Amino acid sequence: MLQVVAQTSAPLTTTHEPSGFVPEGYVLDWSDEFDSGNTLNSDDWTHEMKSKGWVNNELQYYVNHETPAGNLVTEVKDGALVIRCIKEGNKVFSGRVYAKVKRGWTYGYIEGRIKLPKGKGTWPAFWMMPVNFRSWPADGEIDIMEEVGYHPNYVSSSLHATAHVHSNGTQVTHEMLCEGAEDDYHIYGIEWTADKITTYVDGRLQLEYANRGLGRDDWPYDDPFYIILNLAWGGDWGGAKGVDESALPAEMLVDYVRVYQKSGSTGLSTLPLVADAAAKADDNYYDLSGRLISKPVQRGAYIHNHKIFLHR
């Protein structure tokens, strides 16, 4: 088996602490802190499997967890999710994973704490696509964070819809410098409501776009979207200035992904609840997606003995 050497040169610190950037009125609905086991929880995450050239003329093959030689493109390790881009022979393999792909979320505050990879050709992304996808860009795309390795530490957010799309240069986008984005963890967040989408980098405003009441062509963002984390190699943007294979293997590290929902007038009315979770009537604790947790959360909602509890 080909031995893969991790790119990270210094230990990084993961955390369970709140970021301090969550807007007032939101409670935790779902999260993955990547702190147990060594593989992703298949109840929450789905791997994409696609060949080179599937989208954006990208050069990687997306595989389910491991390469043909047995190297891991996704691994839970040291409190983080590691997404690796690896060369084996004349092929490059990488990971692309979806959170709650069949359910998603409509609105909320979502954040991920992420360290980006180094090297020309890398194209990491933290973004969202519609659960009930039919066509692009009509159904929308929400890019919380993207970076390309030939322009290191400059991160961008974008929105794509029929009325604003990158293929004709009308996309809604904004880029900003995030010092040390490839050296340490930084927090990328989005507040998404029926009225406005706002993205942030370490609590600083990145992009803001309001629902102007122009219809679905301009605002297809009222449907459930699921979360995507991936590390592409090359392609129309990532490879616009070529690729440097000496950068491989490359790693994208994700400390956590957290999804918050606004509490309603009763404190719980807008929290999405899976039917299976509501039926949990044993003495264990569960999050709102029905996943077993070891103890009650300090902030947010959980299920115990068929009841929902909310800790603010």
Q: Which of 75, 111, 146, 182 is catalytic?
A: 146
* CB neighbourhood size of 153 (10 A): 16
Which residues are 309's β-sheet partners?
302
Structure tokens at 219: 């605002």
Q: Select which of 75, 88, 111, 141 is catalytic.
A: 141
Q: In which element (H, E) is residue 208 found? A: strand 204-210
Per the annotation, the verdict on 146 as an active-site residue is yes
- What does DSSP say about strands 74-77 and 300-304: parallel, antiparallel, or unpaired? unpaired
Find how far residue 31's CA is from the centre of its chain.
11
Q: How far is CA 274 from CA 103, 105, 164, in A?
A: 9, 12, 34
**Contact (Cβ atoms closer than 8 angstroms) between residue 21 and residue 258:** no
CB neighbour class for 266 (10 Å; exposed up to 12, middle 13-18, buried from 19): exposed
Task: Based on the residue annotation, tell me whether 141 is a catalytic residue of this protein.
Answer: yes
Please state whether beta strands 300-304 and 26-32 pair in parallel, antiparallel, or not at all (unpaired): unpaired
List active site positions.
Answer: 141, 146
